[in-house]
Amino acid sequence: MSIGSRIKGLLGAGAAPAHQRLALDGLENVLTGLGTDRDPTRHTRIRLPTAAVLGRNELQIMYRSSVYVRRIVDAPCRWAVRRGWDVEIEGVDADQIRALHDQADRLGVRQKLAQADIWAGLYRGGAVVLGARDAAVTSLAEPLDPARVVGLDWARTYDGYQIVPVEWQGDPARPDYGDATMYDLREAGVRGGYTGPVHASRVLPFWGVPLPDNLKAETEGWGDSRVQVAFDAVCQMEEAERLSQRAMYRVGLVVFKLALLELMEREGDAKAAKRLSLLMRSVGGINGLILDAGPGDGVPGESAEFPPVDLRGIEGVMRHFAQKLAASANMPLTLLYGQAPAGLSTDDASGRIYWYDHIEAWQLERYERNVATVYRYLAAAAGIKDADPRVRFVPLLTPSEGDEAATQLARAQAAEKWIQWGVRASEQIAEDVFGEAPAFGPLPAAGEEG
């Protein structure tokens, strides 16, 4: 039997508890669990060449196991619907608009649009299929005429693998040239249901990252997953975290110098196993260490050392990978990590302003048309025909009460100076600056009695 086999058998390979398992190479540490089945840095990892297209299984594993992937995919979609929207329809009063909002809330439009957009970010595409009742057509494969809609009963969300565009508008003279005209619903979901063709008039699509035409066949026309773009940065960030954790584990690393082979040859395997068992129990049980360095067993000179570990420079390396990940995700660090990393401003104000601008563009590009379609059908079902809804998203960057008060104070101070200098009259100030007529009439001029 080889020496390695004898050492493995000292504590009974496969039978000893985890804290007594013996590591034979330097990449494992039985005390901290590093490299063993107790290693907290071990988790599901995807290893693919950079140019490889991530498939459905790889994407869903990463979404479930990586906090970075989940935040990159979810954040812009959640923010896009965070404050909702206002809708205006010519000739429709506020009470009717409020009733349409109530219907949209009943259908869960906000949540389902965001979920379809999340699936687009993860699975290359996503869509909401509308269960609109047409006075003349009942089949989902037939085009929906808004003028004949008499009800909107349900809305269901599907990812880009469940529903796929299969027909496209090919007439370059039409304004909708290049748009999908028919979809194929392939998976009805866990509850079952309809599968088959669905006309584009009943579908609210969310497309993936745009691709050149010659690459669209790889994603069945949807586009790319946002995870594909950030894949390398995510892997590098998680690898950097794993290596930094390994470096920190080395702070508590103990190097034992035992004359184990000599003891095995002199006294046999049983005594060596007993010695190792005592050592493991002393370290794991009382967080201490017992070593017998006396001549009683003929093995003098045993020792335990704590090698010094230099952690300088780790912070800078981690910041580099964090910034790369934030750039690939097109997100400020404060949103990607939940707090401002060291070395950045405490509030990252410029990053947040950029993020708000990014989300506003996101809303216009990906949500405005779909929201207008929903309200057009809702309005038709309520008897409002030929509606042309105008959607305005509630701004994300809204001033606080303190900001409003400070603005009002600054305007009042400026107005006071204008009156003192004779630049403008008090009634002009009230109407132009504050948007209202003066409550007590014009202020008296200097030297006049009130």
pLDDT in tens, 223-239: 999 998 888 888 888 88
Please, which pLDDT band fits residue 3 given cuts at 50, 70 and 90?
Answer: low
The answer on pLDDT for 257 being more than 80 is no
The DSSP 8-state label assigned to residue 63 in this structure reads H
77-106 CB burial, b ≥16 within 10 A, e <16: bbbbbeeebebebeebeeeebeebbebbee
pLDDT at 181 over 70: yes
User: Residue 428 has what pLDDT?
Assistant: 72
Write down the pLDDT at residue 22. Answer: 44
How buried is residue 234: exposed, middle or buried, by Cβ count under 10 Å (0-12/13-18/19+)? buried
Q: Could you tell me the pLDDT band of residue 18, with boundaries at 50, 70 and 90?
A: very low
Q: What is the pTM of this model?
A: 0.69
Q: Which residue has the higher pLDDT, 1 or 118?
A: 118
Q: What is the mean pLDDT of the chain?
A: 78
Give dist(CA 126, CA 91) in Å, integer: 34
pLDDT score, position 344: 40
pLDDT over 70 percentage in the chain: 70
pLDDT score recorded for residue 394:
93
User: Which residues are paired to 206 by β-bridges?
Assistant: 126
Confidence of residue 154 (pLDDT cuts 50, 70, 90): very high
Instruction: Give pLDDT, residue 440.
Output: 44
Question: Residue 129's beta-bridge partner residues?
Answer: 156, 203
Which whole number is the average pLDDT over 423-433? Answer: 69
The per-residue pLDDT for range 371-411, each reduced to its tens digit, is 999 999 999 999 998 899 999 999 987 766 776 777 778 87
Residue matched to tokens 């669209």: 216
